[in-house]
Amino acid sequence: MSTTGAGPDALGAKFIERCRYYLGEEYPAKIRAVLEVIPDEALWWRPNIWSNSVGNLVLHLCGNVRQWVVSGVGGVTDVRRRDEEFAAREGYSAQELRGILDATIREVEATLAALPVDELMKQRLIQGRDTLVMSALFHVVEHFSTHTGQIVWLGKMWSGAGSIRFYDDANNAAPLFLGPGRSDIQ
């Protein structure tokens, strides 16, 4: 129990709200920013055969978050083809990848919006792993964060200095991608 009087239900609700924020707003906004500026020739570029392109990473994130949240937590049939996420070497434009990302995020948002707090401690079998819903959500947020960072790094490498910015450091202002009056931590 918290010393502020918030009980487990309030904590669980806050946890779900923060997962919705990171998966539905912050990380997708950063990926969209990259997809807006990355040159076409860079979208499917890989630094070596063991690495992934921006295109692969977007497809992978969509497959992963759909498998873990929409299917694993929400109970929708799992249709993921993980190997195809990494095998692609071309095919989708940045605009098409954004459409896939946006459609997936809408599914994730609907699943999390309908998730009761008391489900957080329930068991699920996801990707062959027996896990709690709360653990699955924590894993997905962390996984999405890691690959978002890779996408941003590749986007900054290809698009040039200053083309992708998320914070107004000069004015010590809120993150640029969140809009006026928004804060990423509440």
Supply φ then ψ for residue 5, to 5 degrees: 95, -5
Rounded distance between C-alpha atoms, residue 31 and residue 22, angstroms: 12
Looking at the DSSP assignment, which residues form a beta bridge with residue 124?
131
The model's pLDDT over 2-57, given as tens digits with 9 standing for 90+, comes to 445 578 799 999 999 999 999 999 999 999 999 999 998 999 999 898 999 999 99
Size (the chain), residues:
186
> How far apart, in Å, are the Cα atoms of 18 and each of 41, 48, 57, 180, 184?
35, 35, 23, 19, 9
For position 177, what pLDDT does the model report? 54
Is residue 184 pLDDT above 50, yes or no? no
Average pLDDT over residues 80-100: 87
Helix, strand, coil share (%) of the chain residues, nearest 5: 60, 5, 35
Residue 11 has what pLDDT?
A: 93
The residue that leads in pLDDT, 166 or 72, is 72
Domains, in order of start, for the chain: 9-178 (1.20.120.450)
Q: CB neighbours (10 Å) of residue 158?
A: 18
pLDDT at 175: 60
Residue pLDDT, tens place only, 128-182: 999 999 999 999 999 999 999 999 999 998 887 667 777 666 666 656 554 434 4
pTM here is 0.85
